[in-house]
Amino acid sequence: MKIGDRVRVNKSVVVYHYPKSKKQPFDIKGMEGEVVNHMTDWQGRPISPNLPILVQFDKKFKAHLREDELEII
């Protein structure tokens, strides 16, 4: 996946920071968004994060996900 790809969450992923249900579990399965960053380095040093792909779903909601939780649209 590369920055700018449209993606859909294809597995059940529960988040607690969804703006419309703060501090409550919310399953984002089926939501669509755009890849805005692929974390591979931090301040010039290589890193290997557990959740490397940052996806922007709407103006107020972003989430870090694994590649196997997403499918390209």
Distances 58 to 3, 4, 19, 41, 43 between C-alpha atoms, Å: 16, 14, 10, 25, 27
Strand partners for 45: 42
- What's the pLDDT at 1? 84
- What's the pLDDT at 22? 82
- What's the pLDDT at 23? 87
pLDDT surpasses 90 at 21: no
Q: What integer best gives the mean pLDDT of the chain?
A: 93
Fold category of 6-72 in CATH: SH3 type barrels. (2.30.30)
> How confident is residue 42, by pLDDT bands cut at 50, 70 and 90?
confident
- pLDDT, mean of residues 42-53: 91
Question: Which DSSP category does 68 fall into?
Answer: G
Distances 21 to 8, 16, 24, 49 between C-alpha atoms, Å: 20, 8, 6, 26
